[in-house]
Amino acid sequence: MELIVLDAKGKVGTAVSAALPQVNVTVVTDVDALGAQLKSCTVRPSTLLFVNQSDLSACSDLAARLPAIYWAQENYTADELLQAIRIGARDIWRVSDVPTEWIASLERLQDATAGFAHWANEMQRDAQTAGNIQQGMWPADATDLAGYRFSRRLLPAATLTGDFVDYFPIGVRYLTFFVADVAGHGAASALLTVVLKNISWRLQQRYGRPRFRAPGEVLGWINQQLIEQSAGMHVAMFLGVIDLRKHTLHYSSAAHFPPSLVVADAGQTKSLEQRGKPLGLFPDAKYESAAVDIAPGERVVVFSDGILELLQESDLAGKEQKLQQQAANAPTIDSLWAKLTDNVSADDDVSLLVVERIE
């Protein structure tokens, strides 16, 4: 067993080392030395003993990952112990305790930590498998459909993502695509993207009936499907339907932000701004539809809202203007993606879809 004692004066560490000859006790004098010692540890898991609450508080992130013990004075108060527990201490030691009690405490803590580490590894493997399955539901990148190229990128905040992109033909006349952003993070949001993929398949079977004369009606139908799932989560979505005969993009938005863009080959941009309630919350929600022609060389650029966190501008107007400038000056999806995500990590999922008319 290994015990690391954070003790500026060294007296407690020396006493504990003398009382526990069968334990590998290492004494460090400050927080920086503790960090260096943990990097060099060959025995895992290490147990940390903190002599004062200020050091325990400064290392609360470590206390959340490794078993932490608080060294209490004989005249400790209940408030002092409660505070140590709140910070992260999993046990309390006192100078008057019998050393065999310390040994039993170390065994319990390290057994529990080993069990937790095994469980965490299992959860990580399951999450990675689920993430691979989820990303397998995304359509192939750089897909050419009837004279249009669909390209997409994803920067997930974690293994599982709440963003989802899909595109597919409807008969011989229409191409349909959407970018969806499920509220929240983790397994629940990721599971709802499976529902969205199922909705994609159902749309391919149902589109063309009278009820689906416009994208806004499609969003109304999706809204009802999500409400029937009783998930209690909402989804922002931008939905587009391209009429291949007229090369017209019909579109509708459900609380999607920032606005999608149409970028001309010469760099001019048009913002496709719409209002609409999020999907999955309001049974009576209605969604507007609008249309814009797509000329050869023009492209539709759709972001999820996580992109806003990557921009340094202080206000939303500045962020929108920055996105328009970046989209106008980037000839390819790779150059646009690199400008926006280079050397950054996302606290929210970030996805990008570019639909370009190539014929």
Domain that holds residue 251: 137-357
- When the pLDDT of each residue in the chain is averaged and rounded to a whole number, the result is 86
* 41 shares a domain with 152: no
Q: Which pLDDT score, from 0 to 100, does residue 73 have?
A: 79
Plot region of 3 (φ>0 → left; ψ -120 to 50 → alpha; else → beta):
beta
Residue pLDDT, tens place only, 232-278: 789 999 999 999 999 999 999 999 999 999 999 888 999 999 989 99
pTM over 0.75: no
Which of 94, 129, 164 corresponds to the end of one domain? 129
* 206 shares a domain with 73: no
Tracing tokens 């903190």 back to the chain, one arrives at 50
Which of 129, 146, 181 corresponds to the end of one domain? 129
* 198 shares a domain with 52: no
Tracing tokens 């690199």 back to the chain, one arrives at 338
- How many domains would you assign to the chain? 2
Alpha carbons 62 and 207: distance in angstroms, whole number: 54
CATH of residue 97: 3.40.50.2300
Does 210 have pLDDT greater than 50?
no
CB-based burial of residue 4 (10 Å sphere; 0-12 exposed, 13-18 middle, 19+ buried)? buried
Least confident stretch, 43-47, 66-70, 116-120, 197-201: 116-120
Q: Can you list the pairs that 107-113 forms with residues at least 24 positions away whose Cβ atoms lie under 8 Å? A: 107/1, 109/47, 109/67, 109/69, 110/1, 110/45, 110/47, 110/67, 112/67, 113/45, 113/47, 113/66, 113/67
Alpha carbons 38 and 346: distance in angstroms, whole number: 28
More confident residue, 297 or 314: 297
More confident residue, 339 or 278: 278
* 289 shares a domain with 306: yes
* 151 shares a domain with 183: yes
The structure tokens listed for 233 are 């989560």
Residue pLDDT, tens place only, 122-177: 766 766 776 777 778 899 999 999 999 999 999 887 777 889 999 999 889 999 99
* 63 shares a domain with 164: no
Instruction: Name the phi and psi angles at 26, rounded to 5.
Output: -120, 130
* 292 shares a domain with 258: yes
